Structure 1
Amino acid sequence: MKDVLLGARFLGRGLAWCAARPKQWLFGLIPALVSMILFTGLLVLLAYRADDVAGWLTPFADDWSKGARESLRLLTGVLLFGVGAFLSVLLFTAVTLLIGQPFYEALAVRVEESEGGAPPDPGTSLWLQIVRAIRDGIVLAAIALVFAVVFFALGFIPVVGQTVVPVVAACVSGFFLCGELTSIALDRRGLVRKERFALLRAHRASTVGFGALTVVIFLIPLGAVLFMPVAVAGATLYSRHLSPYPAKRLLPPDAPAPS
């Protein structure tokens, strides 16, 4: 629990950083607003069509009694929307970071400079950064889809599906969400996707602590938009904890952040 709280603390530090610099917070809202319009539309469409999709997924229930059939399809519809929300949290961040690459790159650099200096620009072209972001987003989407299907199936288990599964889903999505948010700062340190996630796995507890809290906030209406700059700032500070700059030594897993 101590290590989980350590990770969550970095989101609080990101909030404090943005609160002290409201112009930077407003600067980071622009890409998030664009993504919000896109994903809100998709979720509204999913909610509107959930009954039809639930019926298509459960043709075996056509001959059931009306009460049993409607109960099953209501549960299926609710689970479908939950899966949509799960995917939206992850894909919202990926799409927002892609749209706002120049915005969040500049924001991350300002965070690092306020803490003692940012690593030098690796010299990667914007086009290559976009290609990498799209590629990493596709990989993440495929992984997220697999987990979404698993959580969707487990959601039908009585009690467990409505209690344990959402918690596990928040932890899993939080880990990958942290991977997305730290990509800007860790890319600047020369770490590719596999190296980034290897580093996060070595600090799994604090990574989940940071990511799961971010997931919960992102699920609050407008939370993803208002907290996106905060999440980027916090993830940048967390990246400095994982891979300090100027580089001296890599901190051992979940070691306390330097004061």
Structure 2
Amino acid sequence: MSDLGAGFGYVMKGQRWVARRGRWFGFGLLPGLITLFVYAGALVGLGHGADDLVAWATPFADAWSSPWQALLRTALTALVFVLGLFLAVVTFTAVTLLVGQPFYESLSEEVDRGEGGEVPESGLSLWRELWISARDSVRVLLRVALYGIALFACGFIPVIGQTVVPALAFCVSGYFLAEELTAVALQRRGMVLKDRLVLLRGRRLLVLGFGVPLALAFLVPFAAVFLMPGAVAGATLLARDLTAPGTDAKPGGGPDARAAGDQPV
């Protein structure tokens, strides 16, 4: 359980890092602001249309008497919106990181520089960086979508669907959120997606301790925008420690493997 606390410690370290460097904090805000306006519109649309979607998906309940029809559809409407938020949290980071690739690469490099030691560089062009980031984000989102479908199906189970499922959704969201954030630093270290996932699986509780609090905080309106610079800084600190000499589960990668980008995932 100590790993959970240590993971949360990286969240706080990252926020303190940008708080002491106001220029980098402001620099890291820009991508999040752009993405926020797009996602706000999408969530408002989901809020207005979730009840119609549930009514269309549950025609068998049309003949149910009150209050059972209302209870079922209200619970499912809430679940749809929770799953929508779950997907928004994960995709928000992926899209923001893609939009802000040059911003966050520079911020992550500055963290490495400030902590001392080697400052890894990928040696790839910006367009190659963007392509690899976009491709890896799609692969991660496909995994998230599979979890989302399974969790949505489990949402029909009475009681469990309205209690355990949302909790699991936040754990999944937090785990993949941490993957997206650490990708900025780990990609510069030449690690392909397959190796990054192996590395993070070796320290699941640490990763959850970092990702779940951020996933919950990102649900607060506008919080994701203001927390993103510190989240990238904290993820870089986490990546540094995970790949430090002598740590467990450090997969091989290297710039050549990443540049090729052909490993199956």
TM-score of the superposed pair, with normalisation by structure 1: 0.92
Aligned to 2:183: 183
Three-state SS of the structure 1 residue aligned to 2:56 is helix
On the 8 A contact 2:18/2:25 being kept in 1, the answer is yes
Aligned to 1:198: 198
**Separation in 1 of the partners of 2:186 and 2:137?**
16
Three-state SS of the structure 2 residue aligned to 1:122 is coil
TM-score of the superposed pair, with normalisation by structure 2: 0.90
**Separation in 2 of the partners of 1:118 and 1:232?**
18
1:36-51 maps to which residues of 2 (within 5 A)? 36-51=36-51
Identical counterparts, % of pairs: 46
Aligned to 2:262: none
Aligned to 1:236: 236
- 1:214 matches 2:210: no
Cα displacement (A) at 1:29: 0.6
- Quick check: 162-171 or 72-81, which moved more? 162-171
- Quick check: 235-244 or 126-135, which moved more? 126-135
Aligned AA for 2:247? L
* C-alpha distance after superposition, 1:58-109 (max 9, x if no partner): 1111222243222222111111101100000000000000000000000001
Aligned to 2:86: 86
Aligned AA for 1:200? L
Cα displacement (A) at 1:205: 1.2
**Separation in 1 of the partners of 2:165 and 2:66?**
28
1:107-186 maps to which residues of 2 (within 5 A)? 107-186=107-186
**Separation in 2 of the partners of 1:222 and 1:118?**
34
Q: Provide the alpha-carbon RMSD of the alignment.
A: 1.4
Change (3 A) 1:178 1:251: same
Aligned to 1:30: 30
Aligned to 2:76: 76
- Quick check: 47-56 or 149-158, which moved more? 149-158
Cα displacement (A) at 1:118: 4.5
- Quick check: 155-164 or 38-47, which moved more? 155-164
Gaps of 5+ in 2: 250-265
Aligned to 1:257: none
Report the number of matched residues.
Answer: 249
Runs of 4+ in 1 over 4 A off after TM superposition: none
Aligned to 1:252: 248
Aligned AA for 1:93? T
**Separation in 2 of the partners of 1:250 and 1:98?**
32
Change (3 A) 1:223 1:98: same
Aligned AA for 1:75? A
**Separation in 2 of the partners of 1:162 and 1:216?**
17
Aligned to 1:256: none
